[in-house]
Chain A
Amino acid sequence: MAVIKVNTEQKLDKLFAASRHAFPELDASPNFLPEVWAKIEDRRSPGWLTLISSWSPRLALAAGLTAALLTTTAAINHQKARNMQILESSYIDALTVSSLDEQDGSQWILAGVPR
């Protein structure tokens, strides 16, 4: 068994040694370099994409700032609208709301009292 293994090892070594000289030198075709450049150009991303990717950190910052500004503006407007609503409410409206609150409260208190 060991002899067979040694024999196989020798054959493998022989194959490797022979294969060192079994590959003829290849010459590149005349189009080798132009084809390399064509492949480079094919893989190059379009100009606008390159521009966007180079500007992306700045664009992200600008987008973040715009989002923060819009959120703040929206919050301020919302608060303003609420204040305006309160100011614009009529006395009757305010009274109705107040009486409803009181009524609800009394009902709530009464609900807790055992009959």
Chain B
Amino acid sequence: MLVEIETIERAQAGEPDAFNEIVRAYRKRILGTIYRLIGRSEDVEDVSQEVFVRLYYSLDQLRSVEVFEPWLYRLTTNAAYDYLRKRKRGNSIRMADLSEEQVIAADAAESGRRDDEVREQTEIREFLDVLLDEVSEEDRILLTLKEVQGLSLKELSRIYEVNENALKVRLFRARKRALKAYETLKKR
């Protein structure tokens, strides 16, 4: 853990300093996870702040301080899930409506002055976003945590509170749907 158990307990008791310590310790990790989950850098900070607001208001519901991290991950995935659902509902121009070439061309135009490596990374992120927009939010989050964030099955089972076998089945199905989406995108 990035903070002492005592700090979490003090935050639970309502000490603002302890809460600030938690935010400072975890904000970078949360920003990184949210970035991978939602794929758009412009909204990362806002969604991450939402995670900490939810943390503040639900700290008293945390039964055991030992499970703080998986619990924080759950808050993070829930905030990302809400954001993705909202985005899907209110999307004016969805990236998924564009072909892969259009996405790359748009991205290339945007990052005309960037060097090759940065441009390649941007292209990968954009294409991943297009691909994952084609599957459900649940599949997107699960695949991102496993394949992009690189969490182990054990870590995922603690976050999702299900056994590893059930997770393997979910992952297999999510991956199948992602493969189908990939093939469809390639055909466009």
Contacts and interface: CB of A to CB of B under 8 A. Distances in A.
B56 A15 contact: no
B179 A9 contact: yes
A22 interface: yes
Question: What is the size category of the interface that chain A forms with chain B?
Answer: 20 to 34
11 contacts: A8-B182, A8-B183, A15-B182, A19-B124, A22-B128, A23-B121, A25-B28, A26-B28, A36-B53, A40-B56, A43-B57
| Chain B CB within 10 Å, residue with most, of A5, A20, A29 | A20
Interface residues of B, number: 37
A24 interface: yes
A110 interface: no
Interface in A30-60: 32-33, 35-36, 39-40, 43
Given A8-B182, A36-B49, A15 B31 contact: no
Interface string B41-63: 10011001110110011000000
A19 B125 contact: yes
Which of A21, A26, A27, A39 has the most chain B CB atoms closer than 10 A to its own CB?
A: A26
A21 B36 CA distance: 11
Given A8-B183, A12-B178, A26-B35, A39 B148 contact: no
Contact of A26 (B44, B53, B122, B127): B44
Interface stretch (B19-27, B81-89, B156-164): B19-27
Contact of B50 (A15, A28, A32, A39): A39
Interface of B: 20, 23-24, 27-28, 31-32, 35-36, 41, 44-45, 48-50, 52-53, 56-57, 120-122, 124-125, 127-128, 131, 143, 147-148, 150, 175, 178-179, 182-183, 186
B121 A22 contact: yes
A33 B45 contact: no
A11 B100 CA distance: 14
Interface SS majority for chain A: helix
A29 B186 CA distance: 38
A28 B56 contact: no
Given A23-B121, A32-B27, 10 more contacts: A20-B147, A22-B120, A22-B122, A24-B121, A26-B31, A26-B41, A27-B31, A33-B20, A40-B53, A43-B53
A21 B121 contact: yes
B121 A27 contact: no
Contact of A20 (B31, B35, B50, B150): B150
A22 B127 CA distance: 11
A26 B179 contact: no
A11 B181 CA distance: 13
B58 to A, nearest CB: 12
Contacts of A8: 179, 182-183, 186
Given A28-B31, A36-B49, A22 B147 contact: no
